[in-house]
A = this chain, B = another copy of it.
């Protein structure tokens, strides 16, 4: 397949490597001449601008940060091929695609990353075993979705189908808000060296991602502000309930929530059950994602998918 990748940072550059290793024709572009130089020196075909990168592409992967997406979409106005992206928020990107008249768009979000960034940190195996959301909406063209799912599963990813809205809510809960919790806990060290001297494992783990680059955390949370606000509001409500329980009878009032949290955490990640085949439909895929399941393979008929679901049904526990 002819694939153009716009943006050659950690994700885009790793995709360039992984897709070429998978036998595809890839061409890359990055706004930064230094990055283009690195990719060229690594033996990749690199275009001088977006238009030239995408002219032969059956698939365009947008791997630029969210703030750069509007400019790239503008340059792609009228593009007839399939387009996907890899940013950590999906509803705003879907809106951009609609705004710029892109018809063949399927949003994507590979949940892969590491502490380092840039083309120098790229890794052919980055996507092996990671969850890769491909968005499913009422208007989704299933053949396009299955084409992308084929590529992602060939890279070793678990393809999780979800609507943009469901995706944005879930990542606010399990990824964006945890970064803000970690930051709040770490801020307690300000002018508080005694606390720093007494901090041990629970602090170390609970604050680890606070060390992520601030601009990444802010871009991630700011790009998903409405869902992060809702999730934070729910969590603050839970914390207020815990405060109340502490002030009454902790043994009676705090234990149920803490015990349930322990059960849920010990049951995570849930064990996958057995593979099963299903015919891909919009509703069937959305149900699969809501059940905590994913696609492991697309059959050659480009209509059937092999799926996995957590072992004990809908709750995954």
Contact = CB atoms under 8 A, between A and B. Distances in A.
Interface of A: 111, 113, 130-131, 133, 158, 160, 162, 166-167, 169-171, 173-175, 177-203, 205-215, 217-218, 221-222, 225, 228-229, 231-236, 238-240, 242-243, 246-247, 250-251, 254-255, 257-262, 264-266, 268-270, 289-294, 310, 314-317
B217 A184 contact: no
Contacts of A232: 239, 242-243, 246
24 contacts: A177-B185, A178-B203, A181-B181, A181-B185, A183-B262, A184-B238, A188-B231, A188-B234, A193-B290, A193-B310, A193-B314, A196-B292, A197-B293, A197-B310, A202-B208, A206-B206, A206-B209, A210-B261, A210-B265, A214-B258, A218-B258, A221-B254, A222-B251, A229-B247
A200 B173 contact: no
B197 A175 contact: no
Contact of A261 (B113, B184, B229, B238): B184
Contacts of A190: 260, 264, 315
Contacts of A221: 246, 250, 254
A231 to B, nearest CB: 8
A194 to B, nearest CB: 5
Nearest to A293: B197
Contacts of A246: 221-222, 225, 228-229, 232
Nearest to A179: B202
A187 B259 CA distance: 10
B202 A175 contact: yes
A96 to B, nearest CB: 18
Contacts of A225: 246-247, 250
Interface of chain A, helix or strand or loop or mixed? helix
Contacts of A222: 246, 250-251, 254
Contact of A192 (B173, B178, B213): B173
A262 B179 CA distance: 10
Contacts of A187: 238, 257, 260-261, 264
Given A194-B289, A205-B205, 13 more contacts: A131-B198, A174-B196, A180-B258, A182-B265, A189-B268, A193-B290, A205-B208, A206-B206, A207-B265, A211-B266, A221-B250, A232-B243, A232-B246
A250 B218 contact: yes
A238 B235 CA distance: 13
A258 to B, nearest CB: 4
Q: From A208, A238, A265, name the one whose CB has the most chain B CB atoms within 10 angstroms.
A: A265
Contacts of A130: 200
Nearest to A223: B250
B261 A186 contact: yes
A213 B262 contact: yes
A243 B266 contact: no
Contacts of A294: 197
Contact of A210 (B179, B262, B270): B262
